[in-house]
A and B are shown apart, each in its own frame.
Chain A
Amino acid sequence: MFSKKQNFLIWSILILILIILFLFDIVLGSVRLPFIEVIKLIFTGNTEHPEYATIIYRFRIPKALTALFAGFALSVSGLQMQTVFRNPLAGPYVLGISAGASLGVALLVMGLSTFTVVSQIGVLGNWTIVLAAWLGSGLILFLILIVSIRVRDIMTILILGIMFGSATTAIVSILQYFSNESMLKAFIVWTMGSLGGVSLTQLKVLIPSIIIGLVITFLLIKALNAMLVGENYAKSMGLNVRLSRFLIFFSTSLLAGSITAFCGPIGFIGIAVPHIARIVFKTANHKVLLPGTMLLGGIVLLLSDIISQLPGHERTLPINSITALVGIPVVIWIIIRNQKITSV
C-alpha cells in the first residue's frame, strides 16, 4: 500500500508511458514516417503529405488502437480469472475461450476447404474468420455459463474449462491432420496472432465490445474484492456469488473472445500483467489493481507491438512470440525477486 501522493505519481508516470508508446507505435511501421509529421498530423489534422494521412488513419491508428484495447482486455480478463479461481496461473484462456475460437477458425479454414473448392482464405474474407472465431468462443462461453449456474464448486468449473479446451484442441488437431498445406498455413498464421489485420470498420465492432466488457468488470470491483477471500466468505458477507460469477465469466469471454476473434490468440499478457500490477501497486484491492492492470496491459502490448517491428521495416514478427519473449523474463524476474507469490 502506498500513500495517495505516491500512487498519484505512479499513475501519472504510467499514463505518460502509455501515451508515448501509443505515439511510437503509430510512427513505426513498414513505411518510415518522419516523427514530426506524424505528431503534427495527429494533433492538428493537417499534413503536406496526403499519403501519410492514409497510412496513419487506415493502418497505423487502427493497429495502435487494437494493441491498446487488446492489452486492456486480455490483462483485465486475466486478472478476473486469477481472482475468481484464486490461482496465480489462471489467465483469460483457462475457460477454453481461445480453444473455442481456434475451433471456429479451424472448422472454417480447414473444414470448409475439404468440402469446397475454396482454396484462398482471402475469398472467405476477414469478417468470416472473425465470425467463426466468435462463434467458437461463444459456444465455449455458453457451456461454461451453463456449468457455472449448475455447479457450485469453482475448482470443478476450472477443470471443466480445461477439459472443454482440450477437447476442442483435439478436434482442431484432427482437422489439421486432414487439411492441405495452404489451409494449414493459413490456420497457423492465425494462431500466431496479429494486431495489424483489424480494419477501421472492424474496430467499430471491437472497441464497443471491449468497452462493454470493461464496464461490467468495473461494476464488479466490490464483488471481486470479496472473492479474494473465497466464495464461502463472499457469500457470508452477502454477495450473490452465482450472479457475480456469471457476470465475471460473461465479461471475460466478451473481452478475451473478441480479441481472439479479431487478432488470434495472444498469449501471456493475461497471466503476466496482473502480476506486474500487483508488484507495482502492492495491493490486492481491485479498486487500484483493476485500472492498474488495464493500464499496464496497454503498455505491455504496445511495447510488444513496437518490438515486433524492430527487426526491419519489411516484416513484422508474430506478436504472440513477442508477448511471450517480452513477458516471460519480466515474470521470472518478478517471481525470483518476490518469492512470496504463493497465491493470488
Chain B
Amino acid sequence: MKREGNILKIDHLEIGYPEKGKSNNILYRGINLCGQSGELIALIGKNGIGKSTLLRNISGLQSSLNGTINYFDKQKQAYSRADFAKMISFVSTEIVNVTNLSVFDLVSLGRFPHTNWLGKLTTKDVNNTARALEMVGMSSFARKNVNEISDGERQRVMIARTLAQDTKMIVLDEPTAFLDLPNKYEIIHLLNKLSKEENKTIIFSTHDLNIAIQEADKIWLMLDDKIVEGAPEDLILDETFNKIFEKSNLRFDKIKGDFKMQKKHHCKIGLIGEGPQYTWTKKALERLNFYVEKGNDSIQYVKIETGNNFCKWTLLDDELKHVFNSIYDLSIHLKNTNPSADLTAEGMTGRPKN
C-alpha cells in the first residue's frame, strides 16, 4: 500500500524482546502499516498479541527487533529527543496518581520538550496548557489535584497533556480500559474530534469494537498471522473481522455490526410474535441454547400475546399449556423442564424430556 503523504510508515517491522545468547523473543513480525494526518486509527487484536508492544515501538519507548518506522520519512534516530517528543506523544494504561499534583501542573508537564532546562513556563506555555484543558473540557478542573478526579476525568487530563505537548501524532494504549460506557464513547468521540479539528494522527488500542467501528477512520487489525489495515466498513464487508477470534465461538454479525457468541443449539423451539417482544424473547431463548424457528412447526413453541398494558408468553408443548407474565418466568420454566437445554450436553436434539 504505497501512498504519498504518510506521516507514519511502518515497514517489515518485527517487535518483541531481545534475549541475550538466544534467539529473540519475537511477538509479531511483518508489520506494514501507515497513518496519515487527521486520521483516527484504532488498533484491535486479542489480548497478548502485541498491541501495547507495537504502540510502545511507535512512540519510541522501545526498540524494534527489525524493520523500520518512518515519521515524516525519517527514522527516530534522525531526531533529537526533544524534537521526537515534539512530534509524538503517548498515553499509557498506567494510572497517574500523585498526591498534591494539580491538574494544571500535570498538563503543563506536556510542555516539557518546549521549555528551557529549568522547565520554566513562558506565557506561551501557560496559554497552551490552558487551551489543552479547554479542548478536553477540563478547564474548571485546573486547580484540582489529580488524585481527586474520576477515571474518566483523569483520562481527559492525560489527553490534555498530549495536546499541551503539541505533537502531530498521539498514541494511546487502551484509553477506554477503566471507563464506564458513556465515558468510553465520550473519550473516543473526543479523539475523533481532535483528529479532525486539530488535524492530528491519533492511534489508540481498544477492545471496544463497537465504538472503534463507529468512530475510527481506519482500523489496524492484528490477526494471528498478519496485520490488516482498512476502513472499519471494508473490514466488516470482506469478513476480516471474523478472523479476530477465530479459535473461539465469537463471530461477527455483519448486519448487526456486533460480535455474537456462536452456540451449539440443542433443541428447536417455535416462536410466534411481533416487534421488540419477539426480538428479545428470541435472544432469551437463544441464550438457553434453543434453536429458534419462526412459527409453530416445532414440537414446542412460544406464543407472545401483547395488549395495551400487558404482555404474556404462552408455552405450548404437546397437550400442556403454560402462561407466563415475564421472560424470566418463562426461562425458569424452560430451564427446569429442559435440564439439558442450558447445559452443553452433546447429542441432545429434537424433543426434550419432560
Contacts and interface: CB of A to CB of B under 8 A. Distances in A.
Interface in A229-267: 229-230, 232-233, 235-240
Contact of B117 (A1, A222, A230): A222
A169 interface: no
B100 A237 contact: no
B165 interface: yes
B90 A236 contact: yes
A233 B89 CA distance: 9
B19 to A, nearest CB: 14
A100 to B, nearest CB: 29
Interface string B78-89: 000110111011
A237 B85 CA distance: 5
B83 to A, nearest CB: 8
A221 B101 contact: no
Interface stretch (A8-16, A131-139, A335-343): A335-343
B4 interface: no
User: In which size bucket is the chain A interface?
Assistant: 20 to 34
Interface string A149-165: 00000000000000000
B98 A283 contact: no
B139 to A, nearest CB: 16
A237 B105 contact: no
B105 to A, nearest CB: 6
A228 interface: yes
Contact of A238 (B81, B92, B102, B117): B81
Contact of A222 (B59, B119, B165): B119
Contact of A236 (B60, B82, B96, B147): B60
A130 to B, nearest CB: 34
A343 B98 contact: yes
A225 B112 CA distance: 9
B143 interface: yes
A63 to B, nearest CB: 34
B99 A344 contact: yes
Contacts of B60: 235-236
B106 interface: yes
Contacts of B98: 228-229, 284, 343-344
Interface residues of B, number: 33
A287 interface: yes
A282 B144 CA distance: 11
B151 to A, nearest CB: 15
Contact of A221 (B105, B110, B118): B118
B54 interface: no
Nearest to B88: A236
A119 interface: no
Given A233-B92, A238-B112, A225 B119 contact: yes
Interface string A282-295: 11110100000000
A225 B109 contact: yes
A35 B289 CA distance: 93
Nearest to B94: A230
- Chain B CB count within 10 A is highest, among A225, A232, A239, A240, for A232
Nearest to A234: B112
Contacts of B165: 237
Contacts of B117: 219, 222
B296 interface: no
A118 B59 CA distance: 62
B326 interface: no
Interface of A: 1, 219, 221-222, 225-226, 228-230, 232-233, 235-240, 278, 282-285, 287, 340-344
Given A230-B92, A237-B89, 5 more contacts: A221-B119, A222-B118, A225-B119, A236-B59, A283-B105
15 contacts: A1-B143, A222-B117, A232-B94, A236-B90, A237-B110, A237-B165, A238-B82, A238-B112, A278-B99, A278-B100, A282-B100, A283-B105, A340-B147, A341-B99, A342-B97
| 8 smallest beta-carbon distances between A and B, as pairs | A238-B85, A222-B119, A236-B90, A284-B101, A237-B112, A238-B113, A284-B100, A238-B81
